[in-house]
Amino acid sequence: MPAAWGRGRRMGARLGGLALAISLVVAGSPASAQEGTRVRPGSEQSVRGSSVELLDELPVVRPEFPVPDEPGMLFYLQRSTNSNTVVYAANFRDDGTLDPDEPVIAYWRRFNTTGERKALKMVEDNFAFGIRAQATGDPNVFKLYVVSYPERMATLKLVEPGRVNVTATAGERVFRPLYAYVDVNEDGFMPSVREVRVIGRDIATGKALVERIQIE
């Protein structure tokens, strides 16, 4: 095995727990987070269970963290470790349609330092945080999945030039994901995930939806 590939696999394992959060915010779950679902790649963590709750007000887990305000932003990911945030945004062409080769892009906002936008590193894009899209029969509709969990998908739809929406599922609810918060445990040799909170808007009621996913 080439040394670089070996390093990539080891880094992929370290990022596996955080990658679960992206998978869940993008794809939701067919019947809430399924117990026993393995956190991948390379991690021994799995989903212990989850619950879905509707609230009148949208919760803010860490009010001291900056909230990104990006052109075309679909949703974002925060972690307990620091305020650096992964942003997922629609990638429009000049005419307002989605770029069929790359309809969604992912990148960092380094709020913990300068606030600058930075591209994902190759290992992050290929093992953890990267997002991919599949074309459908409709040129304005794409299926989205995260590289760490390609079996679970969300739907991206162009509503009008320059405007899209993303829908996912949590239990029996269809919702629009807004952000996820990952509670990371850094006590051990490798980071692990304690809990993931996925926050969005329930399509049917307009209420805030929170799915809490416990990891073991």
Does the predicted model carry a pTM greater than 0.85?
Answer: no
Q: Which H, E and C letters describe 102-162, residue by residue?
A: CCEEEEEECCCCCCCEEECCHHHHHHCCCEEEEECCCCCEEEEEECCEEEEEEEEEEEECC
Query: Which pLDDT tens digit goes with each residue over 95-153?
Result: 999 999 999 999 999 999 999 999 999 988 888 778 999 999 999 999 998 776 676 67
Closest-CA residue to 126 (of 160, 93, 150): 150
- In tens, the pLDDT along 145-188 reads 877 667 667 899 999 999 999 998 888 899 999 998 988 877 76
Report the pLDDT averaged over residues 79-97: 95
pLDDT of residue 152: 65
Average pLDDT, the chain: 81
Q: Specify the pLDDT at position 41.
A: 46
DSSP assignment letter at 183 = E
Q: How far apart are CA 100 and CA 93, in angstroms?
A: 9
Query: Is the model's pLDDT at 22 over the cut of 60?
Result: no
Report the distance separating Cα 121 and Cα 125, nearest Å: 6
Which of 72-76, 147-151, 163-167, 211-215 is predicted with the least confidence, judged by mean pLDDT?
147-151
Residue type, 188: G
User: If you search the block for the tokens 């974002």, which residue do you land on?
Assistant: 76
Q: Is the pLDDT of residue 32 over 50?
A: no
Question: How much is the pLDDT for 194?
Answer: 82
Q: Give the amino acid at 131.
A: I
Q: Across residues 23-34, what is the average pLDDT?
A: 50
What is the pLDDT confidence band of residue 25, given thresholds at 50, 70 and 90?
low
16 CB-near residues (< 8 Å, 6+ apart) = 39, 40, 41, 42, 43, 45, 127, 128, 148
Q: Which residue has the higher pLDDT, 34 or 153?
A: 153
- The pLDDT assigned to 27 comes to 53
Residue 8 has pLDDT above 50, yes or no: no
Q: What's the full length of the chain, in residues?
A: 216
- Between 25 and 73, the higher pLDDT residue: 73
